[in-house]
Amino acid sequence: MPMDFIHIGFGNIMAMNRVIAILSPEQEPTRRLVREAREKGTLIDATHARKAKAVLILDNGYLAIAAISPETIAKRLAANRG
């Protein structure tokens, strides 16, 4: 299976084959997931100290936060797939 790598901002690249969902961090349940992942040590912060605009849930239980919107990530994924 080919790996699809997507730029998620500030020089960070993510393997999209591992992503289960891309969420907006504005909802309280998503904020709670991020807070719990930070406490457990399973949070990947790719924001470079900027506001998180997307939360990526990975298949191994990790969460990644990015400073670009879920729509932008989805557009980049669609452009890579042709």
Condensed to tens digits (0 to 9), the pLDDT of residues 12-52 reads: 999 989 999 999 999 999 999 999 999 999 999 999 999 99
Q: What is the pTM of this model?
A: 0.90
**Helix, strand, coil share (%) of the chain residues, nearest 5:** 35, 35, 35
Which pLDDT value is given to residue 1? Answer: 62
Q: What is the mean pLDDT of the chain?
A: 93
Give me the number of domains the chain comprises. Answer: 1
Residue 41 belongs to domain spanning: 5-81
- Read off the pLDDT of each residue in 57-61 and give the average, rounded to a whole number: 96
Which pLDDT value is given to residue 3? Answer: 82
At 4, the pLDDT band (50, 70, 90 cuts) reads: confident
Q: Would you say 15 and 56 are in contact if contact means Cβ atoms under 8 Å apart? A: no
